Amino acid sequence: MRFCTCLALSILALPAITAPAPSEDAHALVVKYATVLKDIPRLRAEKKPLPKEALLESLYARLAHETQPEIRQVLLVARQFLLEAKIQTSKAMPDDVRDLLSSIDNGFGLEMAAQIPPNSPALELVAAVEPDYLNFIAWHASGGGFVPQLEAEAAEKAFAYLDQVFAQNPSRDVKALALISGAELNSRPRRLAETKAYVDRLEAFAPGHPAIAKWREWLVRAAKEDQFAPRVGGKVPAFKLQDFDHQGQTLTPGTFKGKYLLLDFWATWCGPCLKELPNLHAAQAKFKGRGLEVLSISRDMKAEAITTFRKDVAHPMPWRHAFPQGKDTDALMASFQVRGIPHILLIGPDGTILATTEDLRGSKLEETLGRCLPAVR
């Protein structure tokens, strides 16, 4: 989520727009907005007025009338960046406002992805101002965001979009960015071979590009870290957590000795996690008589979010919970090598890891539990 409270108000409060759209070359428009946007951090650091209000009014006026596709595409990207510069996020933001703005952000992402083709000059503005944003557009071009589909399917469409950008966009900077973005998206779920393939392509296309050395170092470091990642057949890492529902009680691997433990890293804001909840509820009800216990470890920012969420009769989550904070969270995430959620492990009665996330989601959850847990006598 990239905006904050004033965004919704600023959109709703825009004046009636009647100005005609001037004629302008898309590449010239990229240069214009890139110059202004790249200067905003300096102005903010020097506590000088930011030239955004007039620009936003002018931009919205043009969007209301602009019919040239390439001009509209540049304006859509410029709107996103100007609104981000205008709005500062805050950890104290109310949850309902955060949810609203997340929905607005998702809507803008889908709008841009639908209107910005791989060969668009608008991607030159992305490369010049905020390169990481190409991942955002690619993900929404895949039908990502809140569209109900499997992440793996969306990811493949995102990679296809990036490959089309590399093949079709005339800008060498954008082509290089497409390869860097492919490496970045693959690195998040730690797909090392796929990440390396994009880095190799980048080196072949742009020898000496500064991103190459960074990604080569990352690949070496990630390979070393993965040697210690929890895996099937290994022992569950040590942990010590406070029981969320029972003050004063501590949860450790020993708490679940003799039981089958489903360890579930999740959050109330995580769409894929919420999609797994019906499966978790069904599995807990079906297998608790066969020795299954569940421990959900939340990545939420506030304990109230968990409490409020579980009050809904649709998802009571009637099992153990923990809510680590601060350094405890960092240490736990590092020991379990959690880089994305949902992240799930099945632990046997002796502390041995029996299955990991890929075999514990969707229909595979009950299949794996049925295979690993003893039959009822």
Give 104-151 pLDDT, tens digit per residue.
Answer: 777 888 888 899 999 999 999 999 999 999 998 998 887 654 443 456
Instruction: Specify the pTM.
Output: 0.70
Which SS3 state, helix, strand or coil, does residue 307 take?
A: helix
Residues 155 and 103 in one domain: no
Domain count, the chain: 3
Examine residue 232 and state whether it is found in any structural domain, yes or no. no
Share of the chain above pLDDT 90, in %: 51
Q: How far is CA 314 from CA 107, 122, 150, 317, in A?
A: 27, 43, 22, 9
Mean pLDDT of 274-279: 92
Cα–Cα separations (whole angstroms), residue 354 to 113, 265, 279, 315: 40, 16, 18, 26
DSSP state of 168: H
Is residue 360 included in any domain, yes or no?
yes
Can you tell me the distance from the alpha carbon of 259 to that of 261, in angstroms, rounded to the nearest whole number? 6
What domain range is 326 assigned to?
241-371
Residues 88 and 194 both lie in one domain: no
Q: Are residues 110 and 38 in the same domain?
A: yes
Q: Are residues 279 and 353 in the same domain?
A: yes
The pLDDT value recorded for residue 91 is 55
Name the E strands within 131-270.
241-242, 250-251, 260-266
Strand runs labelled E in the chain: 241-242, 250-251, 260-266, 292-298, 320-322, 343-347, 353-356
Q: Are residues 98 and 17 in the same domain?
A: yes
Domain C-terminal end among 128, 151, 170? 128
299-341: per-residue pLDDT in tens?
Answer: 998 899 999 999 999 999 999 999 998 877 888 888 888 878 8
Q: What is the CA radius of gyration of the chain?
A: 24
Asked if residue 39 belongs to a domain, the reply is yes
| Position 236 in a domain | no
One domain, residues 217 and 324: no
Same domain, 102 and 206: no
